[in-house]
């Protein structure tokens, strides 16, 4: 097979991409953080110009611990407390993703963190959805087709998850396509929020759970077996249930002597999607570096792997950059990137006919011209 377009950043940006795991409050433009802080009189930003602020977020997030990584969100959440600010951040998010060639995205945030200036949960979600719609329209005018849907997240250390699950179901016809829990993982197991997941299941509504990022297999086991999650946020520690001979090169193309445990087998057999976020995992210390990231092992073993940004601001990244890092490290070609994209589209929380339409009309034709 010859490659019409080289697998470089320009080509990757043109390729249609699907993003399932991206936090709204982790993806602000640094300039927007500064402007909003000025508008609302937030005095505690750690830097006063765009470049230093961008650098601050990246290095502060490079902490090697999820808990410290999460502290950086205090500054973004602080400037996202009004309807106008939420709408702007959501609009810019859709525009930025579209400019990067993302054609479908599920963007998540925790409404309960945006009530400090008097908005209620419904007003918060309404503002974000308005922003996504405006962003989609602006992108379309710029010739970029994107569909952005919302996941509402409950914070796992708090006690509002049932309320947030109800919020998800209340807004299901208006752009919220699912539910999630996030925040510090150690000490806050998924089963703590069982009533919320049961509510979602009782309403035939899908959800994902951050699990297997800062904590290992027990968290994944609870998420899939007790809570019945549809996808795993990260799920990268499923690698702890996969045995490879000592000295195996994580960048190999085949892993013939592999043994899977019960949890790993279940995740693969059931095609449970893994929302993998390579750069974020390095920053929080879930993995040492991209070279030793289990992404390749999981991809070659045919787990349902998807590529995600997690927090574009904190990781100074984009979907294209995550693709490029993986392709450089593990030698992927266009057909691999297409497979990860189709995996993600199949795993989306929109309805089957909408997923199929994007696969057949946007993703496959988009890669066909690159692969030719
Ligand atoms: O990788 C992550 N793991 C766990 N929690 C996260 C991660 N990234 C962001 N958040 C948390 O999710 C909230 C809602 O978007 C953010 O405010 C942050 O606290
Ligand atoms: Zn996340």
Q: For 171-219, write each residue's pLDDT tens digit.
A: 999 999 999 999 999 899 999 999 999 999 999 999 999 999 999 999 9
Residues 108 and 176: beta-carbon distance below 8 Å: no
Q: Work out the pLDDT band at 5, boundaries 50, 70, 90.
A: confident
* CA 308/CA 347 separation, integer angstroms: 13
**Residue positions annotated with a catalytic role:** 213
d(CA 74, CA 80): 10
**What pLDDT is attached to residue 2?**
53
Q: Is 230 among the annotated ligand-binding positions?
A: no
Residue 3, pLDDT above cutoff 80: no
Half-sphere exposure of 219 (CA within 13 A, CB side): 26
- For position 258, what pLDDT does the model report? 98
Percent of the chain with pLDDT over 70: 99
Q: 16-32 burial string, b = 16+ CB within 10 Å, else e?
A: bbbbbbbbbbbbbbbeb
pLDDT of residue 207: 98
Say what the pLDDT of residue 341 is. Answer: 99
- Cβ 344 vs Cβ 307: under 8 Å: yes
Tokens 């997923």 belong to 355
Q: Which of 288, 276, 197, 202 is nearest to 238 (CA)?
A: 276
| Pocket mutation for ligand 1, best pick of 182, 189, 274, 312 (most atoms within 8 Å of C-beta) | 182
Quick one: pLDDT at residue 349?
98
Length of the chain: 372
Complex ipTM > 0.90:
yes
Question: Can you point out the beta strands (E) in 175-273?
Answer: 176-182, 207-211, 231-234, 242-243, 259-260
Confidence (pLDDT) at 123: 98
Ligand 1: nearest atom to the Cα of 153 = 14
Q: Which pLDDT score is estimated for 78?
A: 98
Domains located in the chain, CATH noted: 9-371 (3.20.20.140)
Proximal ligand: closest to the CA of 212: 1
With a cut of 60, say whether residue 122 has pLDDT above it: yes
221 lines ligand 1 (CB under 6 A): no
- How far, in Å, from the CA of 36 to the mean position of ligand 2? 23
Helix (H, G, I), strand (E, B) or coil at 13: helix
Whether the model clears a pTM of 0.95, i.e. scores above it, the answer is: yes
What integer pLDDT is reported at residue 372 of this predicted model?
79
pLDDT over 80 at 4, yes or no: no
Q: Is a pLDDT exceeding 80 seen at residue 268?
A: yes
């Amino acid at each position: 097979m010859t490659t019409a377009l080289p697998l470089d950043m320009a080509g990757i940006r043109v390729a249609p991409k699907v993003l399932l795991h991206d936090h709204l409050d982790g993806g602000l433009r640094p300039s927007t953080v500064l402007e909003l802080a000025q508008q609302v009189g937030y005095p505690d930003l750690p830097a006063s110009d765009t470049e230093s602020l961008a650098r601050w977020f990246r290095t502060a997030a490079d902490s090697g611990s999820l808990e410290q990584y999460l502290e950086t969100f205090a500054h973004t959440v602080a400037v996202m407390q009004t309807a106008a600010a939420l709408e702007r951040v959501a609009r810019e998010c859709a525009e930025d993703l579209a400019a990067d060639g993302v054609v479908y995205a599920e963007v998540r945030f925790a409404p309960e963190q945006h009530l400090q200036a008097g908005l209620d949960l419904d007003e918060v979600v309404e503002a974000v959805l308005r922003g996504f719609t405006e962003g989609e329209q602006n992108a379309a005018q710029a010739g970029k087709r994107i569909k952005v849907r919302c996941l509402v997240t409950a914070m796992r250390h708090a006690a509002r998850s049932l309320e947030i699950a109800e919020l998800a179901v209340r807004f299901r016809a208006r752009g919220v396509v699912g539910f999630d829990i996030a925040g510090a993982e150690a000490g806050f197991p998924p089963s703590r929020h069982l009533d919320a997941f049961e509510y979602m299941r009782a309403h035939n509504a899908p959800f994902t759970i951050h699990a297997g990022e800062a904590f290992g297999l027990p968290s994944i086991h609870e998420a899939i077996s007790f809570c019945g999650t549809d996808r795993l946020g990260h799920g990268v520690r499923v690698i702890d249930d996969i045995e490879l001979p000592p000295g195996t090169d994580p960048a190999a193309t085949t892993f013939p002597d592999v043994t899977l445990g019960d949890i790993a087998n279940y995740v693969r057999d059931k095609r449970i999607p893994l929302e993998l976020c390579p750069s974020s995992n390095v920053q929080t210390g879930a993995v040492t570096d991209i070279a030793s990231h289990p992404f390749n092992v999981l991809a070659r073993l045919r787990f349902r792997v998807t590529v995600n940004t997690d927090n574009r601001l904190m990781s100074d990244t984009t979907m294209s950059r995550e693709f490029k890092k993986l392709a450089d490290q593990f030698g992927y070609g266009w057909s691999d990137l297409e497979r990860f994209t189709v995996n993600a589209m199949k795993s989306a929380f929109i309805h089957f006919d909408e997923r199929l339409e994007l696969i057949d009309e946007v993703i496959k034709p988009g890669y066909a011209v690159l692969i030719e």
